[in-house]
């Protein structure tokens, strides 16, 4: 689905696609005074999408429904509902809207789908209701919904710092394909961070190397480092993920990376290396029996 657009308009419905992301690197600089962790992460959108349908509502200000093969909360705790509630309240809108989330990307997988859904809701309602909100206003709303939400309002590749809400777009293209190794584990970002034990020496080492590579526009080299400082705490919490990584690495298929706080792991390939990617996928399916899917870098 690499050629899919973010917005489509079938009839009086606005269809908004919400892409998953991969953390190509993830460093923890330490803990902030506000209790959050200071992070430095390079994130890339990929062409696997949740979908949000926006239509005229009939009964209440926000009618919210969930469909699709994956679980998502179907109440007001869902970030789609919360994003809609926020944008309608802060812009004084009284039009009723019906929102249907089609959930294709698993929750708790380190792929950022809930944050992406929230960003897509903000963008979609801004478009659907002709609000004309500025980028800075949308980013302000996004930051109140979650640390990763602002990333999804921007381009396909960025370096994110602070809690994740400070975005520096990376303009150089990084075309890639990735084999996502999915898991039944619903990894808790809150718990992974709670169990994190900081390693200042490791941070300084990785920070220096990644900064130098980004200054040389070598995002490809950054990605192939598979630097994720949350990996240890994730695997301590979910030992089966650590064992799966060891099993895959023993197959000598290339570096195995963890996205975000887990649970998805991935292997990177050149975008056009379709033949090798399918061979690797077949080997993984045969040896591990787990679910996997192929994605490519998103273009928006």
Residues in Cβ contact with 82 at an 8 Å cutoff, skipping those fewer than 6 apart: 76, 118, 145
Which of 3, 21, 209, 245 is labelled catalytic? 21
User: Does 21 participate in catalysis according to the annotation?
Assistant: yes
User: Does 216 participate in catalysis according to the annotation?
Assistant: no
Burial class (CB within 10 angstroms; exposed 0-12, middle 13-18, buried 19+) of 289: exposed
Which of 50, 103, 148, 245 is labelled catalytic? 148
| Rg value, the chain, Cα | 19
Residues in Cβ contact with 287 at an 8 Å cutoff, skipping those fewer than 6 apart: 247, 251
Active site residues: 21, 148
């Amino acid at each position: 689905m690499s050629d899919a657009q973010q917005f489509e308009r079938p009839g009086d419905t606005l269809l908004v696609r919400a892409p998953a992301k991969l953390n190509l690197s993830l460093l923890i600089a330490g803990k902030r005074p506000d209790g959050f962790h200071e992070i430095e992460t390079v994130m890339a959108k990929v062409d696997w999408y949740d979908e949000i349908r926006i239509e005229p509502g009939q009964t209440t200000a926000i009618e919210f429904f969930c469909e699709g093969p994956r679980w998502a909360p179907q109440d007001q705790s869902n970030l789609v509902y919360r994003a809609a509630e926020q944008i309608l309240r802060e812009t004084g809108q009284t039009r009723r809207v019906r929102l249907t989330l089609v959930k294709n990307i698993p929750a708790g997988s380190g792929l950022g789908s809930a944050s992406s859904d929230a960003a897509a809701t903000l963008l979609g309602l801004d478009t659907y209701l002709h609000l004309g909100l500025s980028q800075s206003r949308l980013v302000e709303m996004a930051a109140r919904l979650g640390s990763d939400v602002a990333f999804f309002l921007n381009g396909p590749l960025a370096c994110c710092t602070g809690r994740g809400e400070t975005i520096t777009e990376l303009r150089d293209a990084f075309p890639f394909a990735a084999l996502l190794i999915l898991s039944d584990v619903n990894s808790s970002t809150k718990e992974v961070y709670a169990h994190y034990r900081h390693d200042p020496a490791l941070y300084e080492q990785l920070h220096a190397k990644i900064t130098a590579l980004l200054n040389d526009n070598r995002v490809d080299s950054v990605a192939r480092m598979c630097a994720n400082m949350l990996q240890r705490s994730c695997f301590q919490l979910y030992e089966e993920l650590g064992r799966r990584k060891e099993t895959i690495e023993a197959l000598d298929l290339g570096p195995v990376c963890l996205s975000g706080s887990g649970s998805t792991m991935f292997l990177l390939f050149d975008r056009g290396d379709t033949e090798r990617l399918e061979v690797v996928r077949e080997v993984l399916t045969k040896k591990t029996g787990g679910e996997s899917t192929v994605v490519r870098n998103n273009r928006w």
